Amino acid sequence: MPASRDPSAIPPSSPARRRFVQGLALAGAAGTGLLRTPALAMTSPLLAGRDFDLSIGPTILDITGRPRPAVAVNGSVPAPLLRWREGDTVTVRVSNRLADAPSSIHWHGILLPANMDGVPGMSFDGIAPGDTWLYRFTLRQSGTYWYHSHSLFQEQAGLYGPIVVDPLQPPPYHYDREHVLLLSDWTDLAPDALFRRLKKAPSYDNLYKRTAADFLRDARRDGLRATLADRGMWGRMRMTPTDLSDVNGNTYTYLLNGQPPAANWTGLFRPGEKVLLRLINAGAMTYFDVRIPGLKMTVVAADGQYVHPVTVDELRIAAAETYDVIVEPSGQDAYTIFAQDMGRTGFARGTLAVRHGLAAPVPVPDPRPLLTMEDMGHGGHGGGQAMEGGCGAAMMAEGSCGAGMHGGHEAHAAHAPDVVHPASESSNPLVDMQSSPSGPRLDDPGIGLRGNGRRVLAYADLRSLFDDPDGREPGREVELHLTGHMEKFAWSFNGVPFASAEPLRLNYGERLRIVLVNDTMMQHPIHLHGLWSDVEDARGEFQVRKHTVDMPPGTRRSYRVRADALGRWAFHCHLLYHMEAGMMREVRVEESA
């Protein structure tokens, strides 16, 4: 996409310049125009059927006015939309046309044999330059999924795309047309350079640190003693309450279907139609808060699996998650699809409209939220006075919205055991934080979403349309702590990075419970390859089936796993640079001796 003018008046490295130039020369931003199907609009090609040829190769992509190297599939960023059908056996030949780098494709959330999973070093050796790898597997599910590289930072460079698996039986809801909404984050930096910067200066993007004026304001409001105690606690943790994400809009441009906000990606509708929106977060490091002002969203599926419908104004989608929602636009010709990042530093944006060329007002991003000690499992250390009122949809239904989250935390704490940290965390130079999570906090919509006047989805609202597919109580329990060191940008499970960790071994056919305890002050979406993660509610009962489980700071969440797929599987944080920095384990499902 060639630039149409030289914005030389704006400093070349500034976020303002990036936001300015991302609106220039929009035609051809990331693909080949509209899909050739009347019910679906995207920017990358549609490939449907059972037999596919995909070619991974270099390309040049211009999002911000600076042509930059990227990794494409069949010349497209995002990669082509793959449309499959439940029960079919699909064959995908993937050729690596990169000159000097191996590559791979992982089919995120798709159940398949381990040697088809696409993780170099576990399921296969990767695809060497000039080679072709044959993927073949039978589809045992339907829904919205996605695919991406599992080779170094190629996902960040553009190797990601959507998957839709059509069901054999009609879904339990009606819709007239659909659109895929693929969210992602783009950086003009080479991804490996961004990783090096994170290792050297992990707070580089946090431009919103508190100032002396903030101290004086807080002292007037809370008193000098409380303010000094609060600042002391944050100082000992070497963190600020504005540190919500490692990489944000000061580095990233946020994309919808490969297009920056000014490009105004548009999906069409006719008034009165029910429109199914397939939301996919393909961001490398970004949580998006999604809403469409003027429209309610009825959530009907999470991570490809049907759930009891729940109607909300807004939802948070973690990296790697998918949600299917139904909207019914009528009464106006255009609606803005607004997806702001969790730290309120930028947004992706598009439009639902009756014809191309229309736009609706774009909301002003919400105020930047502040973390509290209670957010991070340190509620007993002060700082709780800043806790926002909870407003998950489930809480609203119970009439408890606005009462604050403290009561919910205490209820969870009554059912949660005392936290015992693994010995490997003690005196560990890679661990600089330990929280005391009281429970799952499933009814908490999340930092920045509480008490915002909108009905916001929380995990407690998600309930699968089916009962526990296994039915057995777990025979054993495995507890893993999410650990890290902020200043070293080191991330791990139980204080042990991937390179030093022993595999987690499961017995084929067993039913077990995995308990995750987030000891860090950051949010982590945890993805287990090859097996479903059946999230439990606060009482330990089956609630919802997912492939990626979000873990806010200071939470303890559990899910059941049926070890029904032999082989070696990856288990990791789906924030790309956290995974590369060590928050990953190998899971081996083996026959019992």
Each residue's pLDDT tens digit, 10-29: 333 344 434 333 433 332 33
Locate the domains of the chain by residue range.
15-172, 369-593
104 contact partners, CB below 8 Å, separation of at least 6: 118, 119, 120, 124, 126, 127, 133, 149, 150, 151
CATH says 15-172 is which class? mainly beta
Contacts of 208 (CB under 8 A, 6+ apart): 242, 368
Q: What is the rounded average pLDDT of the residues 542-564?
A: 97
Spatial separation of the C-alpha atoms in residues 382 and 258, rounded to whole Å:
43
What pLDDT digit, counting tens, does each position of 339-374 carry?
Answer: 999 999 999 999 999 999 999 999 999 998 887 767
- Helices (H), strands (E): how many in the chain? 7, 31
Say which CATH class 369-593 falls into.
mainly beta
Distance in angstroms between the alpha carbons of the first and the last residue of the chain: 58
Q: Is 37's pLDDT higher than 60?
A: no
Residue 304 dihedral angles phi and psi, to the nearest 5°? 85, -5
pLDDT given for residue 43 in this prediction: 67
Which stretches of 63-218 are assigned E, i.e. beta strand? Answer: 68-73, 81-85, 89-96, 106-108, 132-138, 143-148, 160-166, 177-186
pLDDT at 17: 38
78 preceded by a cis bond (ω within 30 of 0): yes
pLDDT at 503 over 80: yes
Per DSSP, what are the bridge partners of residue 372?
A: none
Tokens found for residue 578:
């956290």
> Strand order in 542-546's β-sheet?
490-493, 476-485, 511-518, 556-562, 533-536, 542-546
Average pLDDT over the chain reads 85
Cα–Cα dist 104/96, whole Å? 8
Nearest to 278 by CA among 318, 319, 327: 327
Mean pLDDT computed over 259-280: 97
Q: Check whether 590 has a pLDDT greater than 50.
A: yes
> Which among 33-37, 266-270, 392-396, 553-557 has the top mean pLDDT?
266-270
pLDDT per residue as tens digits for the range 381-417: 333 333 333 345 544 443 334 333 333 333 333 344 5
pTM of the model: 0.86
Rg of the chain in Å (alpha carbons): 23
- Could you give the percent of the chain with pLDDT greater than 70? 80
In the structure, what pLDDT confidence band is assigned to residue 230 with cuts at 50, 70 and 90?
low
DSSP per position, 39-53: T---SS-EEESSEEE
For residue 316, the surrounding DSSP H or E stretch is strand 314-317
Amino acid letter for position 243: D
Q: Which residues contact 272 (CB under 8 A, 6 or more apart)?
A: 328, 330
Cα–Cα distance between 527 and 572 in angstroms, integer?
A: 6
Tell me the mean pLDDT in the region 282-294: 98
pLDDT of 435: 78
